[in-house]
């Protein structure tokens, strides 16, 4: 408890000193660190929204492909089952084994495609942050800060150190929806 009070007093004192040195272009107080909500950047910027929409469209396409494949394989299995009484048992076993091998191969291929997509979906927020790194750096320097921290890592801070809304506006101005960027 005493440590928390001590840290709070240091932060308040530091904020007061830095506000007295205010000479930033936007009139925002200078501070040693700024805080940004990276999740909000990804959700609220035009580029982040477009990246999410593109991923959602790809997920729908993968699901549609899976549905079509399942439908075709189900029909083929039904046909094989229906023909079973008229087929020689050896011929049926050979056709069933071939069908099963194809199904297993298709399943492995589809599982790999889904795993690749999920890895890309997981990497997308990190790629987004790499793309906007310079914008965040500019805002950091404009505020006279030496570091940008993710809001999730900060236990307590003054609202004036949060640059999320300024970053959203700057990213939108700089990148728009990001379609003009080289392929990521």
Per residue of the chain (184 residues), what is the pLDDT tens digit?
333 333 333 333 444 444 434 444 455 556 699 999 999 999 999 999 999 999 999 999 999 999 999 999 999 999 999 999 999 999 999 999 999 999 999 999 999 999 999 999 999 999 999 999 999 999 999 999 999 999 999 888 888 889 999 999 999 999 998 888 766 5
In-domain check, residue 13: yes
Say if 87 falls within a structural domain.
Answer: yes
Q: Write out the residue range of the structural domain in which residue 50 sits.
A: 2-175
Full-model pTM:
0.73
181, part of any domain: no
The domain total for the chain is: 1
Q: Which residues contact 172 (CB under 8 A, 6 or more apart)?
A: 45, 46, 47
Q: What angle do CA 39, 41, 44 make, to 5 degrees?
A: 105
Residue 183 lies in a domain: no
| C-alpha Rg value of the chain to the nearest Å | 28
**Residue at 184 is within a domain:** no
Is residue 182 domain-resident?
Answer: no
């Amino acid at each position: 408890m005493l440590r928390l009070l001590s840290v709070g007093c240091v932060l308040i004192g530091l904020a007061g000193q830095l506000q007295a040195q205010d000479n930033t272009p936007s009139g925002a107080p200078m501070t040693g660190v700024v805080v940004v909500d990276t999740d909000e950047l990804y959700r609220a910027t035009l580029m982040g929204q477009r990246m999410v929409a593109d991923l959602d469209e790809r997920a729908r396409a993968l699901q549609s492909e899976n549905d079509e494949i399942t439908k075709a394989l189900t029909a083929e299995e039904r046909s094989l089952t229906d023909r079973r009484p008229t087929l020689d048992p050896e011929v049926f076993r050979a056709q069933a084994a071939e069908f099963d091998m194809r199904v297993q191969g298709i399943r492995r291929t589809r599982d790999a495609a889904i795993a690749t997509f999920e890895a890309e979906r997981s990497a997308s927020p990190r790629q987004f942050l790499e793309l906007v790194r310079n914008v965040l750096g500019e805002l950091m320097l404009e505020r006279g800060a030496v570091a940008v921290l993710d809001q999730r890592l900060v236990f307590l801070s003054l609202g004036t150190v949060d640059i999320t809304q300024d970053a959203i506006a700057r990213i939108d101005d700089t990148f728009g929806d990001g379609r003009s960027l080289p392929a990521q």
